[in-house]
Structure 1
Amino acid sequence: MLGEFREFIARGNVIDLAVGVIIGGAFATITKSLTEDIIMPIVGAIFGGVDFSNMFILLGPVPEGVSTADYAKLKEAGVAMFGYGAFITAAINFLILAFIIFLMVRTVNKVIRKGPDAPTGPTEVELLAEIRDELKKK
């Protein structure tokens, strides 16, 4: 059983998948930062300084000592909320990630379709015909 597991892990597909997951996790962190730290503040400024991460609707009672304006603390306290601002941020993050993956796949597909450049010049048949003709002349 240990031998089978070792063989399974040693396959190229599993290692490629592991590398993909690790890179994907790091890439997700970058896109999350891009969304939260760069894009959403710009969108908020366009809409008059609105902070989307703190946009929510309370659905339940708020415990004593918890501010009703702090989404993170309300969420930590387990208050029932409809956090549409966090959803908007997550949706924008997804769209950015999906678009970048689309660009990467499109580029790879172009490279694969193009393939290596075909050599220019005469084909083997043409070269053989030339050699035959030269040999006939002698």
Structure 2
Amino acid sequence: MTVFEEFKKFISRGNVLDLAVGVMIGAAFGKIVTSLTENVIMPVIGALMGDLDFSKYFILLGEIPADYTGSLTDYTALKAAGVAMIGYGVFITQIINFLIIAAVLFMLVRTINKVIDEMESKKKEAEVTAEAPAVPTDPQLDTLREILEELRKSGKAPPAA
């Protein structure tokens, strides 16, 4: 088998295709969470904390170019001008993105595990029910069983097999 044939076999397996779909969905979900964080959550946090914009929090590390004419508080413009700085406000936003994604994934995995546990429990119950011999419910047989049990207790009947 050639390397190309092995690669083709590997790619055509279901797990690889499932993984590729999962990665694409994850990337799209990441964009949604980023938008949610940057456009909904962070503005609300900023409003609650007194018009706070996390993207504007940074520490200058280098000199501002002499030909720079933009705002000295605009992180994006300073970054585009090549100024060395630490954008810890953007970092805080990314941490919040991560926490949202982690919480959603936790809830998803938790729900899936509960569903799987319930399915396994129902399967075990079905197996136990299927294994249990069907006991006739005829009243005459119940009476005969009671008599046999009394005889066994008194020692006049052979022990149960």
TM bin (shorter chain): 0.7 to 0.9
In percent, how many aligned pairs have the same letter? 53
Name the CA distance, whole Å, in 1 between partners of 2:129 and 2:41. Answer: 55
Residue 35 (structure 2) aligned to one of 33, 36, 41: 33
Partner of 1:48: 50
Aligned with 2:99: secondary structure?
helix
Structure 1: gaps of 5 or more residues: none
Task: Report the number of matched residues.
Answer: 132
Q: Does 1:97 align with 2:104?
A: no
Structure 2: gaps of 5 or more residues: 142-161
Name the CA distance, whole Å, in 1 between partners of 2:27 and 2:79. Answer: 24
Report how far residue 11 of structure 1 moved. Answer: 1.2
Report how far residue 36 of structure 1 moved. Answer: 0.3
Name the CA distance, whole Å, in 1 between partners of 2:130 and 2:103. Answer: 43
Larger radius of gyration: 2
Partner of 2:151: none
TM-score by length of 2: 0.74
Aligned with 2:136: secondary structure?
helix
Aligned with 1:41: secondary structure?
helix
Partner of 1:126: 133
RMSD (CA atoms): 2.4
TM-score by length of 1: 0.86
Summarize deviations over 1:16-60 as a string: whole Å, max 9, x none. Answer: 110110000000000001100110001101110011111111111
